[in-house]
Amino acid sequence: MAGKFNTLRTVCVDAVRQGVLPGLVVHVRAAQETLFHEAFGDRQRDGRTFLPATTQTVYDLASLTKALVTSVLAMRAVGDGLLGLDDRLADHNPAWLGPGKAEVTLRQLLCHASGLPAHRPFHQQAGDRAGVVALAAREPLVSAPAAKSLYSDLGFILLGDVLERRLGARLDVLAERFVVGPLGLGSLCFVDLGAPSPLTKRDVAATEACPVRGRVIVGQVHDLNASAMGGVAGHAGLFGCAADVASLAAALGAAWRGETDNIVSPAVIRAFWSPAGIPGSTWRLGWDGPAVANSAAGDLLDRRSVGHLGFTGCSLWIDPVRDTSVVVLSNRIHPSAADNPGFRALRRVLNDAALEGAGYRP
């Protein structure tokens, strides 16, 4: 089996050597078996000090938070009858006011079709969770709801707030109660900036030398809006190692196949993982699907699969039919968050190499 992943190893080693990223961890799992789990390069480079990445290194998962926490908690709430996908956001957040907003639904937020913009630097105006949520609720729409998908952090900031209101606890508490605890995922956590860090005894990958905070960020959320929210948000803030992300992916895939309902209902996850029906969009509910061509998932993955990307350099793709997942955790924004076209190309090549090792063919 080891030789089947030689191409993947070469891709990873070359990416580090060429400076596409400082380091990464790749985990490939199929049929309840770990086929590949290796680390490459460094988790932090500080002057002349190089700290190597290991398979246990914890990464800032960035927008994987949307899929692994916010979407999964929404599945739970829908399955328990506490929320409906076609509930209007205005009925859960009275501050959601403005032209075109009245009929925006939770479903539209989940598939990025609410009409909200991608991002706003709310951290420049708000210093706490309530302030960021209030600014997101007041933000004008930039397109008509349901007309198209426009990826939006703002929608998931608001979804996180709805879940907290309806389920009666903060997202980190809810994630521990409904996802992390039941599955025993010891590394998956939010880092509350106002409390002792749960990552003090773990090796954590560094992210950006942040010009706003004036230091290299290690063990605290990179996203500035999530940081303003204290490190716990619906769009970002989750940390974890590759093995735990893969274990959660396996549990979700098992639920999709109807093998278990301990985390989410099979019927509900099938609804969430079905295409949302927005014109020209690959989005499901809280999850993306591979594009027909030039997908970050590569060319080999079944187009019925689901996944998500993270700005820090992380990704997860799940093929629930073949019970296969590919987890890539990296800190490609260390020490600089400058855009690198080479990394976008790497995502495709790396996923294809991982799937080829797992037995996928064109």
Task: Supply the pLDDT for residue 46.
Answer: 84
The whole-model pTM stands at 0.97
Q: What is the DSSP letter of 56?
A: T
The bridge status of strand 315-319 relative to strand 306-309 is antiparallel
Q: What is the DSSP letter of 141?
A: P
Task: Supply the pLDDT for residue 47.
Answer: 78
Report pLDDT digits (tens) over 134-152: 999 999 999 999 999 999 9
Task: Supply the pLDDT for residue 348.
Answer: 97
Please, are residues 194 and 202 in contact by the beta-carbon 8 Å criterion?
Answer: no
C-beta atoms surrounding 242 within 10 Å = 28
Q: Which residues contact 48 (CB under 8 A, 6 or more apart)?
A: none
Residues 214, 216, 221: CA angle, nearest 5 degrees: 100
C-beta atoms surrounding 248 within 10 Å = 26
Task: Supply the pLDDT for residue 49.
Answer: 82
Task: Supply the pLDDT for residue 1.
Answer: 57
Domains and CATH numbers, the chain: 2-64+186-357 (3.40.710.10), 68-171 (no CATH)
If phi > 0 it is left, if psi is from -120 to 50 it is alpha, else beta; for residue 256 that is: alpha
Task: Supply the pLDDT for residue 168.
Answer: 97
Tokens representing residue 168 in the block: 């009666």
CA-to-CA distance for 157 and 161, rounded, in angstroms?
6
CA-to-CA distance for 356 and 300, rounded, in angstroms?
8
C-beta atoms surrounding 206 within 10 Å = 24
Task: Supply the pLDDT for residue 318.
Answer: 98
The bridge status of strand 189-190 relative to strand 238-240 is antiparallel
Please, are residues 218 and 59 in contact by the beta-carbon 8 Å criterion?
Answer: no
Report pLDDT digits (tens) over 50-59: 999 999 999 9
With tokens 């209902």, the residue in question is: 265
Continuous H helices in 93-241: 106-110, 129-138, 153-167, 171-175, 181-183, 224-228
Tokens representing residue 122 in the block: 């709310």
DSSP assignment string, 346-361: HHHHHHHHHHHHTT--
CA-to-CA distance for 361 and 353, rounded, in angstroms?
10
Tokens representing residue 46 in the block: 């500080």
Sign of CA dihedral 44, 49, 53, 57: negative
pLDDT in tens for each of the 362 residues of the chain? 568 999 999 999 999 999 999 999 999 999 999 999 999 999 999 877 899 999 999 999 999 999 999 999 999 999 999 999 999 999 999 999 999 999 999 999 999 999 999 999 999 999 899 999 999 999 999 999 999 999 999 999 999 999 999 999 999 999 999 999 999 999 999 999 999 999 999 999 999 999 999 999 999 999 999 999 999 999 999 999 999 999 999 999 999 999 999 999 999 999 999 999 999 999 999 999 999 999 999 999 999 999 999 999 999 999 999 999 999 999 999 999 988 889 999 999 999 999 999 999 98
